[in-house]
Amino acid sequence: MEGRRRRLARSHRRQAKTGQTKKTMIGNIISHYRILEKIGSGGMGEVFLAEDTKLERRVALKFLPRHLTEDKEARTRFEREAKAAAALNHPNIVTVHEIGEHDGQVFIAMEYIEGQTLKELITVHRTPYTVHPSPIAPSRLPLAQVIEIALQICSGLAAAHVKGIVHRDIKPQNILMDKNGMVKILDFGLAKLKGISSLTKESSTLGTIHYMSPEQTMGKDVDQRSDIWSLGVVLYEMLTGRFPFKGDYEQAVIYSILNEEPEKTTEIRKDIPPEFDRILEKALVKEPEDRYQHVDDLLVDLKHLKRDSRSDRQPAPAPSQSKIRRWNQWAFPATIILLAAIAAIFFYVLKGKPGTPIKPNATQAGQGEWTNSIAVLPFRDFSSKKDQEYFCNGMTDAIIGRLARIPELKVIATTSVMRYRDTAKDIKEIGRELQVENILEGTLQREGDQIRLSAQLISAGNGFHLWADTYDRKLDKVFAIQDEISQAIAMALQLKLNEATRKAMKADPTRNLKAYENLMRGQNLVTSYLLSRHEADFTSAVDSLHKAIEADPGLTQAYAGLAWAYVNHSEVTGNEVEVSMARKYCEAGFRLDPNLAETNAGMGWVRLDAGDIDGAYRHFLRAMAINPNLMPVNHTIGLFLSRLGLAGPSMRFIERSMQLDPAYLYSQSVKARNLQMTGDFAGAEELLLRIIRLVPDDPETLAIYAQLLIKTGQAEEAYPLLERAEKATPIEPHVQNVRALYWAARGDRERALQSMPEPKATVYAMLGMREEALALMEKEIAAGKLYLYIDLLHNPLYDRLRAELRFQAILRQQQLVHEERMRKYGSW
């Protein structure tokens, strides 16, 4: 009791002293700030409106309570983090101008926002108590407004998180909104100064406790996922006017946070779509590992929700020419995409090597029609030591490759089936997801040189078993097993095979078992490297593939594996030597077997890279004539046509590629490119968001999406994506070019020009530098650069040039080039 009296006495003395200070501060000049009036107070200090006498602007001065900065270590930590926060330059974060001290009291001078807090907005929109019999009535904030506010908060947080800055005290009181609806996040760095002990002990912070993550309430270290939890609570409150976790006192609230699940928002408000509950559930998972890992992931889901909400309304009118947002020049770096395409092509050779090309009929040589479909699931390792995963994956890959030689059979590629390696999904569900009629599954047991392989073919529609068999063989009969299974499946599906197809299916990659063992090990390690980016996987993969070549110098698949490994490693290291090595191994594969569809498609890209479009086209025609049923062939032809600006013909091949391999993201990227070139930005955005959801940290996709946002008038939303992309690849030219576009969209000429790794006409055009833009375009076209006609026709970044006669001349010139390309390369 006595201790309580002493604490209360200290509190009263502190309040009395503070009150006296307030009366004397109005009108005073502190540093170069004249205090005008008090505008707020709270657990983190008092806030005054002040005039900056140097710059003649209004600012907000926040004076921190003395007891928070008395500890030297705590103050040093605060100043370090506050300075980092002050360096943030983002429209959704309150700008910090200065951190100073007056009479031993730390103050922060920051941007003055004339508006209201989000807490005030929520309170204003609560339904009257008489309408809804709840202690805290549901919010009437319109759903569209909730989503828009949330997107802006996400954008600001993402910019901070990418710099390693965590807010730790996200709540409506720390979210300001100006008169134009712009959201501003306040008080970065202050919660760390206050600390968990203060937050949980002061009664004035009961509101703060409602927004704490479980790890915060337990005093654990926190990261960006704690901010995501707090934002989830804010979202919940905006939608319902209630806290998701309730209690009459601090410990009761903490118990609810740690142990209870909130009521679904759809049960409180009938106009909330169920998808919002799914988003909130993911944001409010108790364990950080199961929560959204990055605020960008939450932003992606909110964008989906925003788009879906719009689609439920009246269709938007067609945009005017002056406001339409269209696609710029191809965002993909040509060299990386080229090599990735080549590597993807050659890596497909690992699935089987047909010794005799298939002569297709007319339909198959174009967009062949399938009469049946199948997915081969990864074989499960039943070996006693469970050390044959590479062998199981190799067998799966080989059977897929043999079946893919049947033109009438749609065979799902390895990339897409590997995600079902340890799945608990039933056959019907897998069939629906992959859109196939049949599933092959099985087990493999290897002990020494003895193999037992069991396989069964199942109808995905009704679960009936169409065929099953078990093979007990010696290791040297591994190719015979692959052939027998493939032939048995063709028979079970009643597919009629001509002699050329049978020969193609029977062809073995090598007679050397040692070479084949190393090939499968290398292939499996390359796949592991793609998933883990562990240097040891890359080194071991290269070693195994070189051993395969030593055992059999004519093993085309080993060269393909090396090309694929070096391409992916060079994307991480930026090593140009590795890029050259990848190209060398691609060319070596073609020399070994020029009658493969894959090697011809690969050489098509090599010729294109050399500027030989006609030579590239001939190789692509040859690839399609040999086998039209392979994903890499369809993908690379679609990519080739897209590079030429022939979006319509390109789309036919890309759609087929996506059917064959739904998980191959490069095809989805090319489709997004085609959609943007033709003005379908909603469709393009949907695809890019899907890719980001699957690979959230891929810098290229992040930069491509950022570029789309800039071109559709949403430059501010592009900022966190660029920050994240630059963190992964700080010197990637494409990312730097998009950054230049960002600054140009913001009207910052100096930063835009400094950011360009090389001159870009689009940046000049956005900045209004018409002469520079047109001169550069004329110079580059004369040097042979591709300026796509449909891009010039639709791209809003060129809008400031359209009235110029020189631009109109360029447009007419490129139209003739486009029409000639369509005549020569558009018919298949």
Please identify which residue in the block is written with the tokens 């070019």: 737
Cβ neighbours of 360 (radius 10 Å):
18
Q: What is the pLDDT of residue 360?
A: 35
pLDDT, tens digit (0-9, with 9 covering 90-100), for 223-257: 999 999 999 999 999 999 999 999 888 889 999 99
- 220 and 147 fall within a common domain: yes
What is the pLDDT confidence band of residue 26, given thresholds at 50, 70 and 90? confident
Model pLDDT for residues 63-77, shown as the tens digit of each residue: 877 776 676 766 776
Domain end, chosen from 50, 85, 112, is at 112
Beta strands 115-117 and 175-178, pairing class: antiparallel
CA–CA distance, 414 with 466 (Å, rounded to integer): 22
Pick the range with the lowest mean pLDDT from 204-218, 605-619, 691-705, 774-788.
204-218
| Boundary (domain end) residue, out of 507, 525, 557 | 507
Q: Are residues 84 and 147 in the same domain?
A: no
Averaged pLDDT score across all residues of the chain: 82
b/e code 459-478 from CB counts within 10 Å (16+ = b): ebeeeeeebeeebeeeeeeb
Alpha helices in 377-477 (DSSP H): 389-403, 414-417, 427-434
Q: Give the separation between CA 199 and CA 388, rounded to whole angstroms.
A: 54
Q: Into how many domains does the chain fold?
A: 4
φ and ψ at residue 305, rounded to 5 degrees: -65, -40
CATH code at position 683 = 1.25.40
Same domain flag for 382 and 503: yes
CA distance 456 to 162: 49
In a domain, 257, yes or no: yes
pLDDT at 500 over 90: no
The CATH number linked to 92 is: 3.30.200.20
Asked if 81 and 124 sit in the same domain, the reply is: no
Domain boundary among 507, 523, 557: 507
Per DSSP, the three-state class of 424 is coil
The CATH code of the domain that includes 491 is 3.40.50.10610
Predicted local confidence at residue 309, as pLDDT: 64
Q: Is the pLDDT of residue 421 over 90?
A: no
With contact defined as beta carbons under 8 Å apart, do 14 and 70 qualify? no
Amino acid letter for position 674:
N
Closest CA to 309 of 546, 545, 142, 112: 142
Are 739 and 811 found together in one domain? yes
State whether residue 381 is helix, strand or coil.
strand
| Dist. CA 102–CA 104, nearest whole Å | 5
Residues 96 and 184 in one domain: no
Res 318 pLDDT > 60? no
Q: What percentage of residues in the chain have a pLDDT greater than 90?
A: 43
Residue 199 near residue 208, CB atoms below 8 Å: yes
Predicted confidence band at 7 (pLDDT cuts at 50, 70, 90)? Answer: very low
Instruction: Report whether 447 contacts 383 (CB < 8 A).
Output: yes
Question: pLDDT-derived band of residue 133, with 50, 70 and 90 as boundaries?
Answer: very low
Q: What amino acid is encoded at 564 in this protein?
A: W
H/E stretch holding 460 reads none
Is 274 contained in some domain?
A: yes
Nearest to 334 by CA among 86, 104, 644: 644
Give Cα separations from 238 to 152, 167, 296, 584, 762 (angstroms): 14, 20, 20, 58, 40
* CA 605 – CA 431 distance, rounded (Å): 34
Least Cα distance to 632 among 372, 375, 415, 390 occurs for 415
Cβ(467)–Cβ(489) under 8 Å? yes
DSSP string of 721-760, one letter each residue: HHHHHHHH-TT-HHHHHHHHHHHHHTT-HHHHHHH-SS--
101 vs 729 pLDDT, higher one: 101
| Amino acid at position 575, single letter | N
Q: Could you tell me the two tokens for 332?
A: 């993909």
- Residue linked to tokens 């393009």: 684
Q: What is the pLDDT of residues 505-519, one digit of tens each?
A: 887 888 899 999 999
Indicate if the pLDDT at residue 698 is higher than 60. yes
Q: Which helix (DSSP H) or strand (DSSP E) does residue 294 occupy?
A: none
User: Which residues partner with 183 through β-bridges?
Assistant: 177
pLDDT tens column, 176-218: 998 778 899 988 755 554 444 444 444 334 448 999 999 999 9
Q: What is the DSSP string of 507-554?
A: --S-S-HHHHHHHHHHHHHHHHHHHH--HHHHHHHHHHHHHHHHH-TT
Quote the CA–CA distance of 597 and 639 in Å, as a whole number.
Answer: 16
Same domain, 143 and 49: no
Q: What is the mean pLDDT of residues 153-169?
A: 86
Residue 661 or 345, more confident: 661
Shared domain for 108 and 121, answered yes or no, is no
Least confident of 83-92, 285-294, 304-313, 584-593: 304-313
Using pLDDT thresholds of 50, 70 and 90, give the confidence band for residue 405. confident
**pLDDT beyond 70 at 22:** no
Give the pLDDT of residue 196: 41
Range of the domain at 61: 23-112
At 516-533, the pLDDT tens digits run 999 989 988 887 776 666
Q: Answer yes or no: is pLDDT of 288 > 80.
A: yes
Other beta carbons within 10 angstroms of residue 296's beta carbon come to: 23
- Residue 136 pLDDT > 50, yes or no? no
What's the CA gap between 12 and 14, in Å, rounded?
5
Tokens of 306: 């925003």
Calculate what percentage of the chain has a pLDDT beyond 70. 82
Residue 683 lies in a domain: yes
Section 381-391 average pLDDT: 90
- 295-311 vs 274-283: helix crossing angle, rounded to 10: 180
Closest CA to 621 of 644, 646, 642, 603: 603
Instruction: Report if residue 69 sits inside a domain.
Output: yes
Are β-strands 438-447 and 380-381 bridged in parallel, bridged antiparallel, or unpaired?
parallel
- pLDDT of 359 above 90: no
Residues in the chain: 828
Does 427 fall in a domain?
Answer: yes
As a whole number of angstroms, the distance between CA 400 and CA 392 comes to: 12
Q: Can you tell me the distance from the alpha carbon of 253 to that of 246, in angstroms, rounded to the nearest whole number?
A: 5
**For the residues of 304-321, what is the DSSP string, one character each?**
HHHHHHHHTSPPPPPPPT
Q: Look up the CATH number of the domain holding residue 260.
A: 1.10.510.10
Q: Is the pLDDT of residue 80 over 60?
A: yes
Question: Which string of b and e fits 778-816 if b means at least 16 CB within 10 Å?
Answer: beeeeeeebbbbbbbbbbbbbebbeeeeebeebbeebee
Give the Cβ contact number of residue 587 at 10 Å: 16
Residue 436 has pLDDT above 80, yes or no: yes
End-to-end, the C-alpha distance of the chain in Å comes to 90
Give the number of other CB atoms < 10 A from CB of residue 419.
12
The pLDDT, as a whole number, for residue 600 is 85
pLDDT tens, position by position, 708-750: 999 988 998 999 999 998 887 666 778 889 999 999 999 999 9
- Pair 146, 103 in one domain: no
The answer on 205 and 163 residing in a single domain is: yes
pLDDT of residue 782: 92
Phi/psi at 71 (5° precision): -75, 125
DSSP string, 317-334: PPPPTTT-----S--S-H
Whether residue 285 sits in one domain with residue 142: yes
Asked if residue 61 lies in contact with residue 35, where contact means CB atoms within 8 angstroms, the answer is: yes
- Predicted model pTM: 0.56
- Greatest mean pLDDT among 2-11, 70-79, 570-579 lies in 570-579
HSE value, Cβ hemisphere, 13 Å, CA-based, for 392? 22
Q: Are residues 456 and 310 in the same domain?
A: no
- 130 confidence band (pLDDT: 50, 70, 90): very low
Domain presence at residue 817: yes
Comparing C-alpha atoms, which of 71, 46, 360 is closest to residue 193? 71
pLDDT surpasses 50 at 13: no
Condensed to tens digits (0 to 9), the pLDDT of residues 605-660 reads 778 877 889 999 999 999 888 888 888 889 989 999 999 999 999 999 999 999 99
- Tokens 């108590």 sit on residue: 129
Q: Are strands 33-42 and 29-30 parallel, antiparallel or unpaired?
A: antiparallel
Q: What is the Cα–Cα distance from 660 to 412, expressed in whole angstroms?
A: 5
